Structure formats: structure tokens, C-alpha cells
């Protein structure tokens, strides 16, 4: 009998301690700290730093925050598979013209790459040319996502036009894939891919 009372007493003491500990944590909340360093560990090896080529999410976490996309999943509604917002484009994500076979994006003005070079529509086109129509010997893990794309053009410095072979509800989600980071045309031309 004594053993039962000992276990009961120990259980009550542990339960009370947990309850008091939880109650105390509410009172010790601190204001959010700004600045500093955020360190995190991703449990995978990074095969390369080329997000257009890689398939592992281990490469997304450390690299993606340093780049922008043409469009992206709405950060205020990340669980929605259909809610997208412009990142490097202006206004709303295009709904499609010409029977949903043409999508025209206006590029935001004032965006610069790390070296101070201004972003133009030609950088977006070069990026998607590499992803959709890569040169021989250059792998693209997302090429198949864009089977519906016939061409990507920049008629001027602020306009990108995707022309599709056929309408596809998969086009806009494919453009918003977080691996589709925008790289400068100059860098793509310089490094041969």
C-alpha cells in the first residue's frame, strides 16, 4: 500500500510542477528581438548551389532567401495551392490572355542584383530559358513542369511574355515553384549555362 501512495504522491508532485512551470512561462514572455543571427541545421547535403538543377529541399532553406522569384506562393496564405503574388512583377499575377495561352508580366522597376545591376525582363527570360529550354548538357529538374510553354520573350526591358502551346492550369503554380530563382542574364551568359 505504501508503494501506491508513494507513486500517487510523486505523480501529484510532477503534475503540480508541470502546471506551475507552464503557468510561469506565460508571465515570462519577452518582446521580439530584432536583428542578430539565425542559425539552423538542414539535415541533408547540398549537391550544388544551382536551384534550377537540384531537387532536394535541403538546398532551398539555405539559398532561397537570398533570391527573388517572378511570382511566389502568398506568404500570408501559404497552405493555399492557388494563391500566388508577384515578387519581381508588378500588380496581380496575370490571369492569361488568348484562351489562357499567353501570360504577360510587367517587371518591377528599381530592383537590383547584388552587384548593383538593375533587373530587366531579359534576366527573367534568361532564367526561364535555362529552366525550360536548357542548353545541351545543362540539367533542369523542372523542365517537365513547363511542357506547355512554347516561348518566353522580352519585347522590352519591363515586359515578359510566356506563350503556351496549350492552356494549362499547372502553368502559374510551376512559375511559383521556389526553385525558380532569378539569376542575372550577365551571370548566365558569363558562366555558359
Provide the pLDDT for residue 19.
45
Provide the pLDDT for residue 98.
96
Provide the pLDDT for residue 58.
80
Q: How many CB atoms lie within 10 A of CB 115?
A: 8
The DSSP H or E segment spanning 189 is: helix 185-190
Provide the pLDDT for residue 192.
67
Cell numbers at 157, concatenated: 526591358
Where are the strands (E) in the chain, listed by range?
71-73, 84-86, 102-106, 149-156, 159-164
The pLDDT profile of the chain, 193 residues, written as one tens digit per residue, is 555 444 444 444 444 444 444 444 444 557 777 788 877 677 777 887 788 888 877 887 777 788 899 999 999 999 999 999 999 999 999 999 999 999 999 999 999 999 999 999 999 999 999 999 998 888 888 999 999 999 999 999 999 999 999 999 999 999 999 999 999 999 999 986 6
Domains of the chain, earliest start first:
57-190 (3.90.76.10)
Nearest residue to 41 (alpha-carbon basis) of 56, 58, 54, 55 = 58
C-alpha 145/C-alpha 179 separation (Å) is 12
For 29-139, where are the alpha helices, taking DSSP H only?
57-63, 121-132
Taking CA 95 as the corner, what is the angle to CA 93 and CA 98, rounded to the nearest 5 degrees?
A: 140
Give CA separation, 6 vs 2, 18, 110, 123, in Å: 6, 18, 71, 72
Distance of alpha carbon 5 from its chain centroid, rounded? 57
Residue 25 in 3-state DSSP?
A: helix
Provide the pLDDT for residue 40.
66
Amino acid at each position: 500500500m505504501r508503494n501506491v501512495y508513494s507513486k500517487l504522491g510523486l505523480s501529484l508532485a510532477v503534475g503540480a510542477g508541470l502546471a506551475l512551470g507552464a503557468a510561469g512561462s506565460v508571465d515570462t514572455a519577452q518582446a521580439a528581438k530584432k536583428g542578430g543571427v539565425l542559425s539552423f541545421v538542414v539535415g541533408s547535403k547540398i549537391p550544388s548551389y544551382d536551384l534550377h538543377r537540384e531537387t532536394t529541399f535541403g538546398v532551398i532553406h539555405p539559398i532561397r532567401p537570398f533570391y527573388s522569384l517572378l511570382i511566389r506562393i502568398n506568404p500570408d496564405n501559404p497552405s493555399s495551392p492557388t494563391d500566388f503574388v508577384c515578387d519581381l512583377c508588378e500588380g496581380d499575377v496575370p490571369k492569361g490572355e488568348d484562351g489562357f495561352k499567353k501570360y504577360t508580366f510587367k517587371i518591377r522597376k528599381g530592383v537590383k542584383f547584388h552587384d548593383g545591376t538593375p533587373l530587366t525582363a531579359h534576366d527573367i527570360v534568361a532564367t526561364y530559358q535555362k529552366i525550360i529550354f536548357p542548353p545541351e548538357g545543362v540539367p533542369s529538374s523542372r523542365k517537365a513542369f513547363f511542357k506547355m510553354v512554347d516561348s518566353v520573350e522580352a519585347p522590352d526591358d519591363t515586359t515578359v511574355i510566356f506563350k503556351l502551346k496549350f492552356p494549362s492550369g499547372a502553368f502559374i503554380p510551376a512559375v511559383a515553384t521556389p526553385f525558380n530563382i532569378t539569376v542575372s542574364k550577365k551571370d548566365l551568359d558569363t558562366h555558359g549555362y
